[in-house]
Chain A
């Protein structure tokens, strides 16, 4: 490409991630209850087996997983307290704590996150979510319509950032949703100079992308084929915010085994699981969930690409869109996403423990080897 032609956004996005290593996260939400997504939310238990959760965290410690997503919702334990207990019993894995702004004041949230961080050596990220189902938000007394949820999230993050960046200054904020007068939280995020957690923000909508550019380090989206994704994420990456993908994994020694595992996975579910998903789809107002359901409908073969499989979405929901294949194929698919600027991934698997172990042992070394080759090629290039 000539230096005189301005690069396309996609080319610029690609260039922005050269030299970065991909980072991998895992969701804790199914630990101890592998097929929880096949169950209607009203039937779920929120008392989950701690030992199974701890086992997955310890596995993540060993397998080079960056962090565990600690989801939030009425069917789950509180993510900050659960992270406190798991964090006290692990060494290196981080905890990506989900937060919904409508439920807590930003000052109280920062104080809880900073306290957690000091108790677990700073191993904390935060994942801001706008909420996906109005009915559930009303369980918590949050009645804001969707458009306003974004405006509030914007203010929430502005206040959080103000507290984290405040150093010894007092925080003053006069917004529509939040007013802070001479705010000061002397409990810092860390004692080693790191002032704030990495901030992730989830969503497929335009508003999410704008908010992520303004406040976040990384925008989470549900997976879709690289070809359709590239243009959507390029402006975000160009603006200096990373993009990550939420996707499930079915990786096996051979492609045949992986495909068989995928078909075996869905074969065990019947109408109950389909009903649970139909019910969720009816009640959600989140663009990310809606666009994954739409992709699934447009894709009669269940294969959106050679490796991206939508077959489990009707029974296990939007987060069950999956990369399916051999270790080599999965590594290739991940690097194909890296080509368009995606730098982080958040996985789930069935069961998570086996999938994570296989990923760490078989897939991750291939990814790192390919990354090293690319980096080497860059170094010798004139």
Chain B
């Protein structure tokens, strides 16, 4: 018996609303919340069976904690996976913000902890810690957070980066079923995986073939940590329409410029997983339904499941078979893709899961 897969979707941000192509990096179009459209998107997500929406963090976007709070105030069931970079605030203040969010929104907050992907971008925030030390700091940060969430008494901590004494916070984390938020950690480096295996509920990574990720996935499951994939999908009534929709992404007038800006972005980044996924883009197809055609122009999250609802559902179950249990999707246009996914793919996945559980029960009865 296995738990049902959980599906998340990336929140639409300013530049995503109208076009068929994602926003350019750090373009000012993404910097404004478009609250009315985002509220409508969140309601649609609730109706589509989406578990949570990912609210990204970047200097070029509105603050995800504050934006998530506003969206939570206008939704009922949807959770908000708030991305957060340690290094910009005291872990105690962060816990206070998370706990405040939870008390105002019935615990509908989860955390996506990201170490950062570029020293240059961190410096624009006033943070000058390099890659490996970032993970060390993130581990201290998350260890402190975990103490606050589990603590019976005052929190004491003395590390390389933080020193906290006899600390207590009077606003608790409040949720119907948890005493601490669910924590996601992303990243492909050894450091990221070690951090996830000790401190996260779920490790997030960019997609690759089930074959290529089976080993790391099994290791993570053995450590008691779930595995989630960040990827895109194109679901259409026929395979050829789905393929055409994906390839259409690369027809935009700015694609050549995007190719060169993506190349320099990845080159400037010290993120292992961005570099690994960039190298996948040598081939257009990783499997018959897993597409990497846009990776070199539009980034690592555009590795996509492509096909009919049946093909995409089967592609998802292939990941489930090797231990993946959560997915964070993107699509173009995001809104319609999410609606199609909720309407056509999720019910098929649930049927396949039920069938699997029934045959499991038969074998073990």
Contact = CB atoms under 8 A, between A and B. Distances in A.
B66 A141 contact: no
A140 B163 CA distance: 8
A71 to B, nearest CB: 13
Contacts of A46: 99, 169-172
A84 B126 contact: no
Contacts of B170: 44-47, 74-76
Given A108-B89, A180-B126, A187-B31, A81 B66 contact: yes
B165 A139 contact: yes
A84 B73 CA distance: 9
Interface of B: 26, 28, 30-33, 35, 59-63, 65-67, 69-70, 73-74, 87-93, 96-97, 99-101, 103-104, 120, 123-128, 162-172, 174
Given A118-B32, A186-B31, 11 more contacts: A77-B99, A78-B96, A80-B65, A85-B73, A105-B125, A105-B127, A112-B63, A140-B92, A140-B164, A142-B90, A179-B128
Interface of A: 42, 44-47, 50, 74-78, 80-82, 84-85, 88-89, 102-108, 111-112, 114-116, 118-119, 135, 138-143, 159, 170, 173, 178-188, 191
B103 A119 contact: no
A379 B18 CA distance: 55
A104 B88 contact: yes
Contact of A103 (B61, B74, B89): B89
Given A81-B69, A187-B31, A103 B167 contact: no
A170 B120 CA distance: 13
Contact of A74 (B87, B88, B165, B168): B168
B167 A118 contact: no
A184 B104 CA distance: 31
B167 to A, nearest CB: 4
B271 to A, nearest CB: 19
Contact of A184 (B87, B89, B124): B124
Nearest to B167: A139
- Which of B88, B126, B168, B172 counts the most chain A CB atoms within 10 A? B126
Contact of A140 (B31, B32, B93, B104): B93
Contacts of B97: 78, 80-81
Contacts of A187: 31-32, 61-63
B100 A77 contact: yes
Contacts of B67: 115, 119
Contacts of A135: 166
A186 B99 CA distance: 28
Given A118-B33, A140-B92, A186-B26, A84 B124 contact: no
